[in-house]
Structure 1
Amino acid sequence: MSKAFASQGDMEEKTISFTEIGRDLWAFTAEGDPNTGVIIGDDSVMVIDTQATPRMANMVIERIRSVTDKPIKYVVLSHYHAVRVLGASAYQAEEIIASDKCRAMVAERGQEDWDSEFERFPRLFEGHEGIPSLTWPTMTFSKKMTVYLGKRRVDLMHLGRAHTAGDVVVHVPDAGVIFSGDVVEYHSACYCGDGHFNDWGKTLDAIAAFNPKSIVPGRGDALVGDEMVTAALTNTRDFVESTYRPVAAVVARGGSLKEAWDAVRAECDPKFADYAIYEHCLPFNVARAYDEAQGIDTPRIWTAARDKEMWASLQG
């Protein structure tokens, strides 16, 4: 390759925030790194997304212990990506919950994703030697599952395909708060390498239908209030559509992957170039959009070798 992936050189430590966005609802964020959500119920705690390693997860646990001593009973995986799930063992939860499709994707491509992501973004895997194995859900659901943390109701939902085919969105009705995983981002690029561009907007509509007061996105600051929530939903939709639209036009005229890359840069750079992980996401986003525009419905599995081949073709 003529140059490395942007994320391989991103070694700068990020400032961590732990923000209460509703009663006993917390967002662990770090300047565009993967977020973790925390729900404190009457008798226990639920964590949404775990960080990439047990060492990274322990930073979340430290914050949780600063506000409650209740046991962490549930871990919820919003999807299967390594940076979201491989820290799960640190929480010693009774149950690890995901969608049926998410678990199937762990089986189908979990190891390949781990290997690929580790090479792409080494900083997020601090303490990787402490990861015991792939994270396997112990409980799954198809469309919706309700969990009670004492009297506090938490709804886990698969509202449709977007960032992956098995995305889980978590809704806390008593507070009007949604933990969206990477279906929604805020001032961070959407990673679409395993995404479904033509379904993503419908899934955003399904989230908007709950009229959430706050959203914890997959990356970026917690979104509190109607203005921030609406802006993030609108911006996420614009990012996804602005990526897919120029690629579809290139494919329709028989153009190459490199031509698609140039077309996306022309459309997206002016709007999104300063977003977190923009350069990291862009080649994977273009490659997946190119496949989907050709009618490939199921995203091809990314491997460390395929990453390099794709990147080399874009540098030509």
Structure 2
Amino acid sequence: MKFILAAALIVCSVPTWASEDIADQYPGSPLYSKPVEFIPGVFSAIGATAPPNYENTGHNNNLSFIVTGEGVVVVNSGAAYVLAKALHDEIKTVTDQPVVLVTNENGQGHAMLGNGYWAEQGVPIVAHVDAAHEFEEDGTQILESMKRYNQDKAEGTFLQGPTITFEDEYIVELGAYRIEVRHLGPAHSAGDVVVWLPNQDLVISGDMAFHERMLPIFPDTLTADWLETWDTEFEALKATYVIPGHGHPTNMDQVRRYTKGYLEYLRAKIREHLDAGGSLTDAYYVDQTPYAHLDTYEELATKNAGRVYEQMEFEDF
């Protein structure tokens, strides 16, 4: 009961809905917001739900950490060296336990560009092999893109991939925490992983799950595979608590509605459009208004529709 009450109090203490229009919530730090303890020992600095920019220092995803009693495990190093250091500074105000492991949720900049800071501290960094490959292939472009928006805040950031890679799962047991870094299958991007804490019924889902901002569909995001991974693997966790890749901690009902529900809705709309002989040009404008309240809707809705059309056009062949 104490465990559930603590989580409920935390949920009630933060806004129930994020907004990309909300200004920096932690002006004294490069972090967009101060880390909050969601359940005992599990903290998350909730990023902006806006695209990365100078004002949010690229902190537009969630940077989490677990204080185990035998060391701290960090989930995501952030989009810049300065963000990784800022998160470490916050950890030091919570505990004197050393950081013993960093995990990267995927190969994107907001997961990996802060790795250099942690490598300098001698901390092992773990990621899925596909995420490591993506960062190795695209790292220079990712870094240059971050430098363009972050300008002076990019100082000190250098390319550093993970130091440990795995294919299916990477498991550590520290204190009362069994920490399972698991690749469940194809989802949002190459090498997506979740961090599953079975003893706490909590999943740090990374970009497997969204709810306050519209999910992005990349050219290589296979939505049918994402849905299959969701149904066969993600739901099987039966998580009580979810810290998504973006947005406030929540529950399975919310991420199911805005991830699986959105993917199924958009695919159904595109199927109707294809069956009616519709073109790619018109596919961009299929009705997505049930999701228009989500942050980044204006940036992503038309792109998502076009990419799903291009995928589904050939799914039956």
CA distance in 1, matches of 2:254, 2:77: 26
CA distance in 1, matches of 2:155, 2:87: 18
Residue-pair matches, total: 275
Q: Is the 8 A contact 1:82 1:113 kept in 2?
A: yes
Aligned partner letter, 2:127: A
Aligned partner letter, 1:161: P
What is the deviation of 1:11?
8.7
Evaluate the alpha carbon distance shift between residue 57 and residue 252 of structure 1 in structure 2; reply closer, same or farther with a 3 A threshold.
farther
Q: Over residues 246-302 of structure 1, what are the superposed CA-to-partner deviations in whole Å (9 max), with x where a residue is unaligned?
A: 334445566443211111xx2x1x222221222223344234323322449xxxxxx
Q: Is the 8 A contact 1:188 1:277 kept in 2?
A: yes
Matched, 1:237 2:263: no
Matched, 1:190 2:215: yes
Evaluate the alpha carbon distance shift between residue 180 and residue 111 of structure 1 in structure 2; reply closer, same or farther with a 3 A threshold.
same
What is the deviation of 1:64?
1.6
CA distance in 1, matches of 2:222, 2:293: 24
What is the deviation of 1:150?
4.8
Q: Is the 8 A contact 2:196 2:203 kept in 1?
A: yes
Alignment correspondent of 2:12: none
Q: Over residues 127-184 of structure 1, what are the superposed CA-to-partner deviations in whole Å (9 max), with x where a residue is unaligned?
A: 1232112x31111111112112356321111111111131111111221111000111
CA distance in 2, matches of 1:55, 1:256: 45
Q: Is the 8 A contact 2:35 2:46 kept in 1?
A: yes
CA distance in 2, matches of 1:19, 1:186: 19
Evaluate the alpha carbon distance shift between residue 293 and residue 72 of structure 1 in structure 2; reply closer, same or farther with a 3 A threshold.
same
Alignment correspondent of 1:78: 105
What is the deviation of 1:90?
2.4
Name the TM-score, length of structure 2 as normaliser: 0.78
Name the TM-score, length of structure 1 as normaliser: 0.78
Equivalent of 1:94, from 123, 127, 146? 123
Alignment correspondent of 1:285: 304
Alignment correspondent of 1:208: 235
Equivalent of 1:168, from 185, 188, 193? 193
Alignment correspondent of 1:25: 42
287-296 or 85-94, larger mean C-alpha shift: 287-296
Q: Is the 8 A contact 1:53 1:126 kept in 2?
A: no
Q: Is the 8 A contact 1:23 1:175 kept in 2?
A: no
Q: Is the 8 A contact 1:17 1:28 kept in 2?
A: yes
Alignment correspondent of 1:139: 164
Q: Is the 8 A contact 1:30 1:220 kept in 2?
A: yes
Q: Over residues 33-89 of structure 1, what are the superposed CA-to-partner deviations in whole Å (9 max), with x where a residue is unaligned?
A: 211121112221111112211112233223222211211121111111112211122
Alignment correspondent of 2:135: 106
CA distance in 2, matches of 1:35, 1:209: 23
CA RMSD of aligned residues (A): 2.5
Aligned partner letter, 2:116: S
Structure scoring higher RCO (CA < 8 A, sep ≥ 6) equals 1
Q: Is the 8 A contact 1:75 1:93 kept in 2?
A: no
Matched, 1:68 2:87: no
Aligned partner letter, 1:22: I
Evaluate the alpha carbon distance shift between residue 59 and residue 278 of structure 1 in structure 2; reply closer, same or farther with a 3 A threshold.
farther
CA distance in 1, matches of 2:279, 2:306: 11
Equivalent of 2:281, from 238, 250, 258? 258
CA distance in 1, matches of 2:82, 2:89: 11
What is the deviation of 1:13?
3.4
Aligned partner letter, 2:309: Y
Q: Is the 8 A contact 2:81 2:157 kept in 1?
A: yes
Q: Is the 8 A contact 2:169 2:181 kept in 1?
A: yes
Q: Is the 8 A contact 2:284 2:303 kept in 1?
A: no
Evaluate the alpha carbon distance shift between residue 282 and residue 158 of structure 1 in structure 2; reply closer, same or farther with a 3 A threshold.
same
Alignment correspondent of 2:290: 271
158-167 or 89-98, larger mean C-alpha shift: 89-98
